[in-house]
Amino acid sequence: MSMIFSGRVVVVTGAAAGIGRATALAFAAQGLKVVVADMNVAHGEETVEHIKALGGTAVFVSCNVALESDVKRLMEQTLSTYGRLDYAFNNAGIEMEHGRLADGTEDEFDAIMGVNVKGVWLCMKYQLPLMLSQGGGAIVNTASVAGLGAAPKMSIYCASKHAVIGLTKSAAIEYAKKKIRVNAVCPGVIDTDMFRRAYEADPKKAEFAARIHPVGRVGTVEEVASAVLYLCSDGAAFTTGHALTIDGGALAI
Protein backbone atom coordinates (compact mmCIF):
# COMPACT_ATOMS: atom_id res chain seq x y z
CA MET A 1 0.00 0.00 0.00
CA SER A 2 1.40 3.40 -0.99
CA MET A 3 1.57 5.85 1.93
CA ILE A 4 3.89 8.47 0.39
CA PHE A 5 2.81 11.82 1.80
CA SER A 6 6.09 13.68 2.28
CA GLY A 7 5.89 17.39 1.48
CA ARG A 8 2.14 17.46 1.09
CA VAL A 9 -0.33 19.56 3.11
CA VAL A 10 -3.31 18.51 5.22
CA VAL A 11 -5.92 20.40 7.23
CA VAL A 12 -7.30 18.64 10.30
CA THR A 13 -10.28 20.20 12.07
CA GLY A 14 -11.09 19.31 15.67
CA ALA A 15 -7.38 18.63 16.10
CA ALA A 16 -7.01 19.86 19.68
CA ALA A 17 -7.70 16.43 21.17
CA GLY A 18 -8.92 12.90 20.59
CA ILE A 19 -9.23 11.54 17.06
CA GLY A 20 -8.25 14.86 15.51
CA ARG A 21 -5.02 15.18 17.47
CA ALA A 22 -4.05 11.54 16.89
CA THR A 23 -4.63 11.92 13.16
CA ALA A 24 -2.72 15.20 12.98
CA LEU A 25 0.23 13.48 14.68
CA ALA A 26 -0.04 10.50 12.34
CA PHE A 27 -0.02 12.73 9.27
CA ALA A 28 2.98 14.65 10.61
CA ALA A 29 4.84 11.39 11.21
CA GLN A 30 4.40 10.64 7.50
CA GLY A 31 6.05 13.94 6.56
CA LEU A 32 3.02 16.10 5.89
CA LYS A 33 2.73 19.76 6.77
CA VAL A 34 -0.27 19.95 9.10
CA VAL A 35 -2.73 22.78 9.62
CA VAL A 36 -4.23 22.18 13.07
CA ALA A 37 -7.68 23.77 13.36
CA ASP A 38 -9.87 23.97 16.46
CA MET A 39 -11.79 26.37 18.69
CA ASN A 40 -9.69 25.37 21.69
CA VAL A 41 -6.63 27.55 21.23
CA ALA A 42 -4.57 26.19 24.13
CA HIS A 43 -5.04 22.54 23.22
CA GLY A 44 -4.72 23.23 19.50
CA GLU A 45 -1.37 24.91 20.03
CA GLU A 46 -0.41 21.97 22.23
CA THR A 47 -1.03 19.64 19.28
CA VAL A 48 1.31 21.79 17.19
CA GLU A 49 3.95 21.61 19.92
CA HIS A 50 3.66 17.80 19.97
CA ILE A 51 4.16 17.68 16.21
CA LYS A 52 7.16 19.99 16.29
CA ALA A 53 8.70 18.01 19.16
CA LEU A 54 8.62 14.97 16.88
CA GLY A 55 10.36 16.90 14.12
CA GLY A 56 7.20 17.67 12.15
CA THR A 57 5.83 20.86 10.62
CA ALA A 58 2.53 22.37 11.75
CA VAL A 59 0.66 25.60 12.32
CA PHE A 60 -2.44 26.32 14.40
CA VAL A 61 -5.47 28.23 13.13
CA SER A 62 -8.36 29.04 15.46
CA CYS A 63 -11.58 28.05 13.71
CA ASN A 64 -15.24 27.53 14.49
CA VAL A 65 -16.33 25.38 11.56
CA ALA A 66 -19.94 26.50 11.98
CA LEU A 67 -18.94 30.03 10.90
CA GLU A 68 -18.31 30.59 7.20
CA SER A 69 -15.92 33.47 7.88
CA ASP A 70 -13.77 31.22 10.07
CA VAL A 71 -13.65 28.40 7.52
CA LYS A 72 -12.85 30.80 4.68
CA ARG A 73 -10.01 32.27 6.77
CA LEU A 74 -8.75 28.76 7.61
CA MET A 75 -8.38 27.89 3.94
CA GLU A 76 -6.85 31.27 3.11
CA GLN A 77 -4.26 30.82 5.85
CA THR A 78 -3.52 27.29 4.66
CA LEU A 79 -2.85 28.61 1.16
CA SER A 80 -0.80 31.60 2.34
CA THR A 81 1.29 29.45 4.71
CA TYR A 82 1.92 26.32 2.66
CA GLY A 83 0.76 27.23 -0.85
CA ARG A 84 -1.51 24.24 -1.40
CA LEU A 85 -4.00 21.78 0.12
CA ASP A 86 -3.67 18.09 -0.67
CA TYR A 87 -5.81 16.47 2.02
CA ALA A 88 -8.47 17.43 4.54
CA PHE A 89 -9.81 15.59 7.56
CA ASN A 90 -13.06 17.30 8.53
CA ASN A 91 -13.30 15.91 12.01
CA ALA A 92 -14.66 18.73 14.20
CA GLY A 93 -17.86 17.62 15.89
CA ILE A 94 -20.09 18.24 18.86
CA GLU A 95 -21.25 15.71 21.44
CA MET A 96 -24.56 13.93 21.25
CA GLU A 97 -27.59 14.77 23.31
CA HIS A 98 -28.83 12.27 25.91
CA GLY A 99 -32.61 12.06 25.82
CA ARG A 100 -35.66 11.09 23.84
CA LEU A 101 -36.42 13.00 20.67
CA ALA A 102 -39.42 14.87 22.11
CA ASP A 103 -37.31 16.10 25.02
CA GLY A 104 -34.72 17.75 22.80
CA THR A 105 -34.39 21.51 22.51
CA GLU A 106 -34.02 23.81 19.55
CA ASP A 107 -30.70 25.03 20.93
CA GLU A 108 -29.39 21.43 20.99
CA PHE A 109 -30.56 20.87 17.43
CA ASP A 110 -28.98 24.06 16.12
CA ALA A 111 -25.68 23.47 17.93
CA ILE A 112 -25.28 19.85 16.79
CA MET A 113 -26.35 20.48 13.21
CA GLY A 114 -24.32 23.69 13.02
CA VAL A 115 -21.02 21.96 13.77
CA ASN A 116 -21.57 18.40 12.56
CA VAL A 117 -23.36 19.16 9.29
CA LYS A 118 -22.92 22.82 8.37
CA GLY A 119 -19.29 22.62 9.50
CA VAL A 120 -18.51 19.71 7.17
CA TRP A 121 -20.40 21.38 4.31
CA LEU A 122 -18.55 24.67 4.79
CA CYS A 123 -15.17 22.97 4.97
CA MET A 124 -15.75 21.07 1.74
CA LYS A 125 -17.19 24.19 0.10
CA TYR A 126 -13.83 25.95 0.57
CA GLN A 127 -11.54 22.92 0.25
CA LEU A 128 -12.84 21.63 -3.06
CA PRO A 129 -11.95 24.74 -5.13
CA LEU A 130 -8.38 24.64 -3.79
CA MET A 131 -8.05 20.99 -4.72
CA LEU A 132 -9.60 21.60 -8.14
CA SER A 133 -7.10 24.36 -8.85
CA GLN A 134 -4.16 22.02 -8.27
CA GLY A 135 -5.57 18.97 -10.01
CA GLY A 136 -6.81 16.76 -7.18
CA GLY A 137 -6.85 15.80 -3.53
CA ALA A 138 -8.62 13.70 -0.93
CA ILE A 139 -11.12 14.54 1.80
CA VAL A 140 -12.19 12.41 4.75
CA ASN A 141 -15.17 13.41 6.91
CA THR A 142 -15.90 12.08 10.38
CA ALA A 143 -19.30 10.45 10.52
CA SER A 144 -20.17 7.65 12.98
CA VAL A 145 -21.77 4.23 13.22
CA ALA A 146 -24.72 6.38 14.37
CA GLY A 147 -24.84 7.62 10.79
CA LEU A 148 -25.52 4.12 9.50
CA GLY A 149 -28.39 3.10 11.75
CA ALA A 150 -30.57 4.14 14.64
CA ALA A 151 -29.26 5.78 17.81
CA PRO A 152 -31.94 5.94 20.51
CA LYS A 153 -31.73 8.94 22.84
CA MET A 154 -29.34 10.74 20.50
CA SER A 155 -31.63 11.32 17.52
CA ILE A 156 -30.23 14.76 16.59
CA TYR A 157 -26.65 13.51 16.67
CA CYS A 158 -27.71 10.44 14.68
CA ALA A 159 -29.39 12.61 12.05
CA SER A 160 -26.32 14.83 11.82
CA LYS A 161 -24.05 11.87 11.10
CA HIS A 162 -26.45 10.48 8.50
CA ALA A 163 -26.22 13.91 6.89
CA VAL A 164 -22.41 13.78 6.91
CA ILE A 165 -22.53 10.52 4.97
CA GLY A 166 -25.00 12.07 2.52
CA LEU A 167 -22.73 15.05 1.96
CA THR A 168 -19.75 12.72 1.55
CA LYS A 169 -21.40 10.50 -1.04
CA SER A 170 -22.81 13.43 -3.00
CA ALA A 171 -19.49 15.27 -3.12
CA ALA A 172 -17.70 12.06 -4.10
CA ILE A 173 -19.91 11.63 -7.16
CA GLU A 174 -19.75 15.29 -8.13
CA TYR A 175 -15.94 15.35 -8.14
CA ALA A 176 -15.13 11.74 -9.08
CA LYS A 177 -13.79 12.72 -12.51
CA LYS A 178 -11.85 15.69 -11.08
CA LYS A 179 -9.33 13.48 -9.21
CA ILE A 180 -10.80 14.41 -5.83
CA ARG A 181 -11.83 11.53 -3.60
CA VAL A 182 -14.27 12.05 -0.71
CA ASN A 183 -14.83 9.39 1.95
CA ALA A 184 -16.02 9.16 5.54
CA VAL A 185 -14.96 7.24 8.63
CA CYS A 186 -17.65 5.84 10.91
CA PRO A 187 -16.13 5.07 14.30
CA GLY A 188 -17.85 3.03 16.96
CA VAL A 189 -17.17 3.98 20.57
CA ILE A 190 -13.62 5.32 20.73
CA ASP A 191 -11.57 6.03 23.85
CA THR A 192 -11.56 9.84 23.78
CA ASP A 193 -12.24 12.61 26.28
CA MET A 194 -15.77 12.67 24.90
CA PHE A 195 -16.14 8.97 25.67
CA ARG A 196 -14.86 9.41 29.20
CA ARG A 197 -17.24 12.28 29.88
CA ALA A 198 -20.17 10.26 28.59
CA TYR A 199 -19.41 6.86 30.09
CA GLU A 200 -16.68 6.66 32.68
CA ALA A 201 -18.68 8.42 35.40
CA ASP A 202 -20.87 5.32 35.23
CA PRO A 203 -18.75 2.12 35.11
CA LYS A 204 -21.75 0.08 33.98
CA LYS A 205 -22.16 2.28 30.91
CA ALA A 206 -18.46 1.98 30.16
CA GLU A 207 -18.69 -1.82 30.39
CA PHE A 208 -21.72 -1.79 28.08
CA ALA A 209 -19.84 0.37 25.59
CA ALA A 210 -17.12 -2.27 25.41
CA ARG A 211 -19.59 -5.15 25.10
CA ILE A 212 -21.41 -3.72 22.07
CA HIS A 213 -18.26 -4.33 20.05
CA PRO A 214 -17.73 -8.03 19.29
CA VAL A 215 -13.98 -7.59 19.81
CA GLY A 216 -14.79 -6.82 23.46
CA ARG A 217 -13.35 -3.33 23.82
CA VAL A 218 -13.70 0.24 22.64
CA GLY A 219 -11.49 1.54 19.85
CA THR A 220 -8.43 3.75 20.06
CA VAL A 221 -7.84 7.11 18.41
CA GLU A 222 -4.79 5.67 16.67
CA GLU A 223 -6.95 3.04 14.98
CA VAL A 224 -9.17 5.73 13.53
CA ALA A 225 -6.13 7.77 12.48
CA SER A 226 -4.76 4.78 10.57
CA ALA A 227 -8.01 4.47 8.64
CA VAL A 228 -7.99 8.17 7.75
CA LEU A 229 -4.43 7.97 6.45
CA TYR A 230 -5.34 4.94 4.36
CA LEU A 231 -8.29 6.74 2.77
CA CYS A 232 -6.06 9.68 1.88
CA SER A 233 -3.27 7.50 0.54
CA ASP A 234 -2.70 6.37 -3.03
CA GLY A 235 -3.49 2.88 -1.76
CA ALA A 236 -7.14 3.99 -1.71
CA ALA A 237 -7.01 5.53 -5.18
CA PHE A 238 -10.07 3.53 -6.30
CA THR A 239 -12.08 4.30 -3.16
CA THR A 240 -14.49 7.22 -3.06
CA GLY A 241 -17.97 7.79 -1.65
CA HIS A 242 -17.30 5.15 1.00
CA ALA A 243 -18.32 5.21 4.67
CA LEU A 244 -15.69 3.07 6.41
CA THR A 245 -16.74 1.54 9.72
CA ILE A 246 -14.13 1.31 12.50
CA ASP A 247 -16.35 -0.36 15.03
CA GLY A 248 -14.89 -3.65 16.24
CA GLY A 249 -17.59 -5.53 14.35
CA ALA A 250 -20.54 -3.75 16.00
CA LEU A 251 -22.50 -3.30 12.78
CA ALA A 252 -21.80 -6.85 11.64
CA ILE A 253 -24.19 -8.26 14.23
Residue 135, Cβ neighbours under 10 Å: how many? 9
Q: Which string of DSSP letters, residue by residue, matches 50-99? A: HHHHTT-EEEEEE--TT-HHHHHHHHHHHHHHHS---EEEE----PPP-S
CB-based contacts of 123: which residues, under 8 Å, 6+ apart?
Answer: 11, 13, 65, 71, 88, 90
- Exposed / middle / buried, residue 111 (Cβ in 10 Å: 0-12, 13-18, 19+): middle
* Residues 13 and 90: beta-carbon distance below 8 Å: yes
Question: What are the angstrom distances between the C-alpha of 126 and each of 72, 123, 174?
Answer: 6, 5, 15
Mutual angle of helices 18-29 and 41-53, in 10-degree steps: 30
- Sign of CA pseudo-dihedral 230, 236, 240, 243: negative
* Residues 89 and 228: beta-carbon distance below 8 Å: yes
157 in catalytic set: yes
Point out the catalytic residue in the list 82, 87, 126, 157.
157
Using DSSP's 3-state secondary structure scheme, residue 222 falls into helix
Active site residues: 157
